[in-house]
Amino acid sequence: MNTTMLSNMMTIHKNSTVLFLGLALISVVINGCGSKPETESQSKPNEKGPVSLQVISPVKYQPEYTLALPGELKPYEQVSLFAKVRGFVKAIKVDRGSVVRKGQVLAILDAPEVSQRFQSARSDQQKFYEDFQLSRQMYERILKATQKDGSVAAIELDRAKSKLRSDSAAYRSAISSAQSFGQIEEYLKIIAPFDGVVVERNVSVGALVGENNTTPLLVIAQNRKLRLTVAIPEKHAQSVGKNAMASFTVSNLPGKMFTSVLSRKSQVLQQQNRSVTAEFDVENKDNSLDGGEYAQVTMKLRRPDSTLWVPASSIVHAQSGTFVLRVENQTVIKVPVSEGTRRDSIQEVFGELDRKDQIVKIGSEELLNAGKIIIK
């Protein structure tokens, strides 16, 4: 094949390629001009029509309800006994677990200097008593002598009277001083302040105790009567009436139920846990219960006044909070609420609600954008 023929063939091939590309471009242009824009081909969405909803009105209700809470049994009285005066432990008459009676001597301390001061004060009292008696006798004699005119000078009578007053005051001071040292000597005896049981003994015979010791000699608790303390949450605090009943169980006596009536409660909320402490006195004459153990408490409570209740399905829990939906002027309005107790399928709520309000029966956060509302 010569050069001229090869050149002609290449020219034909080039012209065919250009012709093919031109036809393709023309086809694209024709198709583009003949079709409608995508926005025009799509149909416009229909506007939302009215939404039909069921509504209810809140009801006022004052039911009795049950609340389960943890509690703690504590001794009715508990005291730590310290030594008031410095001394050595001479004798201890009780040990851990000993049952004691009020006024019983539990321990005796030895402090010789206290006893010596008391004996010295008693001696001073006796001396001042004798001086007082002598002054009184002298005054009485001089007073009798003055009955005879001129036998005794008036100044002698005044001097005797002054001496009597001075000795009388000194004697009274000596009595007070002796009583004071006598009371200090009484502190050498550790006495039980009430009937109870010894729960701690922290010293032995010979130990030095006194003013700077922070560890008690003995700890005594009253276990024949106990206090059941229960922390009532803030939202239930007003439901605890004067005669509120509590039933409780303890883990070491499974199946046995104990009951008690409210004895007292604090009227101020504790800031740590936002609760009110209620106390129930529990008789424990058979010592079946131990002070310090935990209890599972069930209480029957009732609000002091009626409150508003709605179906539980009306309450919406969303990230924006807890609320119900109120229908006003054919629109839905969000009303924030806080929940109280629940009874079956109805829920106690607190918020800006009224018994005449129309509340959506089955609430949903999506209904906030529902548009016009028609009540079924």
Instruction: Note down the domain range covering 91.
Output: 82-191
Asked if residue 149 belongs to a domain, the reply is yes
* Structural domain count, the chain: 3
Q: What's the pLDDT at 122?
A: 80
> Do residues 351 and 294 both lie within one domain?
no
In a domain, 8, yes or no: no
CATH number for the domain including 289?
A: 2.40.30.170
Residues 254 and 331 grouped into a single domain: no
Q: Which residues of 135-169 are buried (b: 16+ CB within 10 A; e: fewer)?
A: beebbeebeeeeeeeeebeeeeeeebeebbeebee
For residue 303, report the phi and psi dihedrals to the nearest 5 degrees: -60, 145
Whole-number pLDDT of residue 49? 65
Residues 168 and 258 in one domain: no
If asked whether residues 277 and 310 sit together in one domain, one would say: no
| Domain end among 302, 336, 351 | 302
Instruction: Specify whether 86 is located in the same domain as 176.
Output: yes
Q: Kindly state the tokens that stand for 250.
A: 């303890």
pLDDT of residue 22: 39
Q: Both 178 and 228 in a single domain?
A: no
Q: Do residue 93 and residue 162 come from a single domain?
A: yes
Calpha distance 101→99 (Å, rounded): 7
User: Are 261 and 297 in the same domain?
Assistant: yes
Q: Which of 173, 191, 209 marks a domain boundary?
A: 191
- Across the chain, which has 376 residues, the per-10-residue mean pLDDT values are 39 40 35 40 47 90 89 94 90 94 93 76 82 85 72 74 85 79 80 93 90 88 93 89 91 91 89 90 90 92 90 92 92 91 89 92 87 81
Helices 154-186 and 112-145: crossing angle, nearest 10°?
160
Q: Are residues 271 and 345 in the same domain?
A: no
In a domain, 46, yes or no: no
Q: Which pTM was predicted?
A: 0.62
